[in-house]
Structure 1
Amino acid sequence: MKIFTEKTQIQKAIQQIKAKDLSVGFVPTMGALHQGHLSLVQEAFNNNDVVVVSIFVNPTQFDNEDDLEKYPRTLEADTKLLAAFRENLIVYAPSIQDIYDGDAKAEHFSFDGLEFEMEGKFRTGHFNGVGTIVKRLFEIITPDNAYFGKKDYQQLMIIKKLVEKHHIPVTIIGCDIYREPDGLAMSSRNTRLKEDYKKAAPFIYKTLKTAKKKFGTKSANTVKEWVEKEFANHKLLNLEYFIIADDQTLKPVKRKSKKKTYRAFIAVFADDIRLIDNIALN
């Protein structure tokens, strides 16, 4: 395993790799790695000769300064986890200066309306920050394939749109949500959950699974009202939103169509920790 902190170093290394006609897979992360991240790395190794993992807490995608400050930074532990993989793994752990050249500002993007749904309504400027960092990382690393978890499904769709609109030569691959044994979607934020909230959090996925069953026979609005009622009666978890949407346009469904596929999306506060999840409905 090699670790680079400067883009000039990693660009030189990747040029040498590509000169040997080897394929490069890429897994961008913000660190605090868990088994969900490692499953993405394994998937990348299944289909590529060399895998690059970036570890960078990107300031431009946080709309909450306190959240940015509290986000776990565990580079030493992360690199130990990654060391278990084959030798042909590269870690890119840049500084803000290296990525942004002293100007950590987000570019403005249009994602054809995807950015205004769900997370976009609650996290101002978030997807401009995501687009900025992912585009820069793609330009630095020039991967053949890049891997993203479906827990951040809206982000996955936005990155696909970014690649399409900016003609970036990379294939985007979405990977299934990796869950704790109790069903909670794995997230770096889970490490910050207090004990009572950690025990309560699996209720999110349990509710999603029941919502999926109900969606087979009930209207989207009826399911939405049921979910809202379930959380209104919960002592610890506060629902921010529950939305059933077209899984391509992310527009909330008004009337079900057999020709379309849908997903349910949810955001919940467990104390001050914000947890998101989603489930395919058909």
Structure 2
Amino acid sequence: MLVFDKKDALSHHLESLRQPKTSVGFVPTMGALHQGHLSLLAQSVVENDITVISIFVNPTQFNNPEDLEKYPRTLESDIQKVRTISEKILIYAPSVADIYEGKTESKSYSFEGLEHQMEGKFRPGHFDGVGTVVKKLFEIVNPTRAYFGEKDFQQLQIVKKLVAKEQLPVIIVGCPVYREANGLAMSSRNERLSPQERQEAALIYATLQKTANQFAQQSIAKTRQMVAETFANHPLFQLEYFEIAEENTLKPAVKKQKNRKYRAFIAVFANNVRLIDTISLN
């Protein structure tokens, strides 16, 4: 299994493998890999001639320095997990210097308002950091397809917008949320939960399922109230936001309209661990 820590070495190796119709699949991650990441890799391996995974904790998308410091870094374990999918997957695990070349800062992007909703409201500059690093990674790997999980649905929509605005020659593939046995969306942050917290965090998805089941009958205002009361009555959790939004614009919905696709989004703190999830309401 080949592991690269320099972009030039990775680019040169990829160029040596490319033929006119060679397809390259790419899975960008921040490491601390779990089964959700591996499912993206498995799909890429099936759909492409070459698969690349990046493992890079991107500093420019963290608005909270403490969160950046605590983010798990488990490269050796990650390599072993990648190996269970295929020995032929190429791993790119760069330093900050290799990616940013001494200028660790974000480009300022406009994503036509997508960046101002939900995560953008509570994590200033986050999507500038995401857009910056994703564009850099795409330029290094030059993938045919790139795979992103729908748990970070807002990020998925923003990456699609980035590709359209920058006219990048890559197909963005959104993949379903991968969940633990109790329904909790798989996330690298789950490793920071205690076993009891991890079990109780099943409430997040259970609440989203209740929202989806009641969406046709309940008003949006009543649904928001139900969710707020659910978490206000649980001592472990602090609800940061719950939103029902139209899928394409991500703008908060006030009244349901026909022929629109809606999605519920939630961010919850379990002690100091921030967890997000989403569910389609159609």
Q: TM-score normalised by the shorter chain: which range applies?
A: over 0.9
Residue in structure 1 matched with residue 249 of structure 2 by the alignment = 249
Tell me if 1:238 matches 2:249. no
Which digits, 9 at most, give the CA deviation of each residue in 1:90-145, with x for residues without a partner?
A: 00000001000011101100000000000000001000000000000000000000
Task: Please give the residue correspondences for 1:1-282 in structure 2 after superposition, counting only pairs within 5 Å.
Answer: 1-19=1-19, 21-282=21-282
Task: Indicate if the aligned counterparts of 2:38 and 2:85 stay in contact, CA closer than 8 A.
Answer: no
Find the aligned partners of 2:185 and 2:230 in 1 and give their Cα distance. 19
Which digits, 9 at most, give the CA deviation of each residue in 1:151-179, with x for residues without a partner?
A: 00000000000000000000000000000
Find the aligned partners of 2:84 and 2:196 in 1 and give their Cα distance. 33
Ranges in structure 2 where 5+ consecutive residues have no aligned partner: none
Q: 1:61 to 1:34 in 2, by over 3 A?
A: same
Task: Indicate if the aligned counterparts of 1:200 and 1:237 stay in contact, CA closer than 8 A.
Answer: no
Question: 3-state SS of the aligned residue for 1:84?
Answer: helix
| Corresponding letter in the other structure for 2:18 | K
Report runs of 4+ in structure 1 exceeding 3 Å deviation.
none
Post-superposition offset of 1:200 = 1.2
Find the aligned partners of 1:17 and 1:242 in 2 and give their Cα distance. 46
Post-superposition offset of 1:5 = 0.6
Which digits, 9 at most, give the CA deviation of each residue in 1:36-87, with x for residues without a partner?
A: 0000001111210110000000000000000000000000000011112233
Post-superposition offset of 1:20 = 6.0
Question: 3-state SS of the aligned residue for 1:259?
Answer: coil
| Corresponding letter in the other structure for 2:195 | E
Find the aligned partners of 2:21 and 2:4 in 1 and give their Cα distance. 21
Ranges in structure 1 where 5+ consecutive residues have no aligned partner: none
Question: 3-state SS of the aligned residue for 1:278?
Answer: strand
How large is the RMSD of aligned CA atoms in angstroms? 0.8
| Corresponding letter in the other structure for 1:69 | E
Post-superposition offset of 1:211 = 0.8
Task: Indicate if the aligned counterparts of 2:145 and 2:173 stay in contact, CA closer than 8 A.
Answer: yes
| Corresponding letter in the other structure for 1:176 | P
Find the aligned partners of 2:188 and 2:79 in 1 and give their Cα distance. 15
Post-superposition offset of 1:195 = 3.0
Deviation larger for 166-175 or 81-90? 81-90
| Corresponding letter in the other structure for 1:207 | T
Post-superposition offset of 1:28 = 0.2
Find the aligned partners of 2:12 and 2:199 in 1 and give their Cα distance. 47
Which digits, 9 at most, give the CA deviation of each residue in 1:189-239, with x for residues without a partner?
A: 000012332121000000000011111111111111111111111111111
Alignment: residue pair count: 282
| Corresponding letter in the other structure for 1:161 | K
Find the aligned partners of 1:213 and 1:116 in 2 and give their Cα distance. 28
| Corresponding letter in the other structure for 1:241 | Y
Find the aligned partners of 2:81 and 2:212 in 1 and give their Cα distance. 35
Find the aligned partners of 1:237 and 1:203 in 2 and give their Cα distance. 10
Find the aligned partners of 1:20 and 1:87 in 2 and give their Cα distance. 24
